[in-house]
Amino acid sequence: MSDDQIVLGPTSYGKASVRLAKVTRDGARHSLRELSVDVALEGDFADCYERGDNRAMPATDTMRNIVYVTAHEHPLDSPESYGLALAERLLATGPTVRRARVRIVEHGWARLDAGGRPHDHAFIREAGDGVAIVVADGAGAEVSAGVENVLVLKTTASGWSDFHRDAFTTLPETDDRILATMLSAEWAYGPHAGLNFAGLWRDVRAQLLASFADHYSPSVQHTLFRMGRAVLERFPAVRRVRLTMPNKHHLLFNMAPFGRDNRNEIFHVTSEPFGLIEGVVERKAE
């Protein structure tokens, strides 16, 4: 096979899982943010891949240092605003860099209770993680936010019935089951200038959780759509919501061999296998 029949496809490279914590001290009262940061660059890197010429290539170690220095200079008022500042700096790292991608996971800390008031400098890890994604090039930047690993459950108001059956179907129908899922969601903003990222993140997260709980769910699929639709109806700045909702099964345990009637009280909690429901809810193109 001749050389002109083999070409280099799209490439990127960067630094992953850069962990940082920043303590901001306002007298005796401290604030804490902990982040995991992934950064990646795209551009004209063919000389490096094809000929081993590294002269236009910023080192991934440099990218790691930029993550820390930018965090030192930035107030870290939100992962999204920090991601925008980081992406801007990464775009300037090399002559052939054309695009920067930043993904930030925030491991949230809440203040411990100190006799009825929030403690000044003691914290407890919050449930779930926040996410911010920035993709930037010379023309501008796209910003998304989200949540990961938020375990939610309701003990009733959920069922799974009247589904398609065939020769391989063994699952009984039910109109009263536990619905539990490890929710991950990502929502994309439209034009982001002037947005209050921190406030929007809190409000969108709260809306997702409220919409999980506020209805009878005939399926996880229906609940997924209802949650995404509620966010789009309430927040004009959001243009698309992607949700991932693995079904954390709680199976009614058979108590009959022990002469007992299990009235939806005792469940076997399983981890594998699990149903995986995913979907995107978005605004219709005009």
Q: What pLDDT does residue 170 have? A: 94
Q: Which of 11, 60, 62, 96 is catalytic?
A: 60
Domains of the chain: 12-138 (3.10.270.10), 140-286 (3.10.270.10)
100-126 burial code (b ≥16 CB/10 A, e <16): bbbbbbbbbbebeeeeeeeeeeebeee
30 is catalytic: no
Bigger pLDDT: 5 vs 148: 148
201-225 burial code (b ≥16 CB/10 A, e <16): beebbebbbebbeeeebebbeebbb
Strand 97-113 relative to strand 13-26, pairing = unpaired
Q: Express each pLDDT in 183-241 by its tens digit.
A: 999 999 999 999 999 999 999 999 999 999 999 999 999 999 999 999 999 999 999 99
Q: Is the pTM of this model over 0.75?
A: yes
DSSP-assigned letters across all residues of the chain: --GGG-------EEEEEEEEEEEEEETTEEEEEEEEEEEEEEE--HHHHHH---TT---HHHHHHHHHHHHHHS--S-HHHHHHHHHHHHHTS-TTEEEEEEEEEEEEEEEEESSSSEEEEEEEEEEEEEEEEEEEETTEEEEEEEEEEEEEEESSSB-B-S----TT--PPPBSS--EEEEEEEEEEESS-TT--HHHHHHHHHHHHHHHHHSS-BS-HHHHHHHHHHHHHHH-TTEEEEEEEEEE--EEEP--GGGT----S--EEE--SS-EEEEEEEEPPP-
60 is catalytic: yes
Bigger pLDDT: 59 vs 2: 59
Cβ-proximal residues to 70 (8 Å cutoff; 6+ apart), any chain: 82, 85, 86, 89
The answer on pLDDT for 81 being more than 90 is yes
Q: What pLDDT does residue 246 have? A: 97
How far apart CA 83 and CA 37 sit, in angstroms, is: 9
Mean pLDDT, rounded, for 1-23: 91
Res. 94 pLDDT band, cuts 50 70 90: confident
107 is catalytic: no
The answer on pLDDT for 110 being more than 60 is yes
Q: What pLDDT does residue 286 have? A: 75
How far apart CA 158 and CA 161 sit, in angstroms, is: 10
Q: What pLDDT does residue 285 have? A: 84
Q: What is the mean pLDDT of the chain?
A: 96
Res. 40 pLDDT band, cuts 50 70 90: very high
Res. 4 pLDDT band, cuts 50 70 90: confident
The answer on pLDDT for 1 being more than 60 is no
Q: What pLDDT does residue 3 have? A: 66
Mean pLDDT, rounded, for 44-70: 96
Q: Give the CA count within 13 Å in the CB-facing half-sphere of 148.
A: 13
Mean pLDDT, rounded, for 13-38: 97
The answer on pLDDT for 66 being more than 90 is yes
CB 189 within 8 A of CB 140: no
The answer on pLDDT for 2 being more than 70 is no
Mean pLDDT, rounded, for 137-146: 96
The answer on pLDDT for 48 being more than 60 is yes
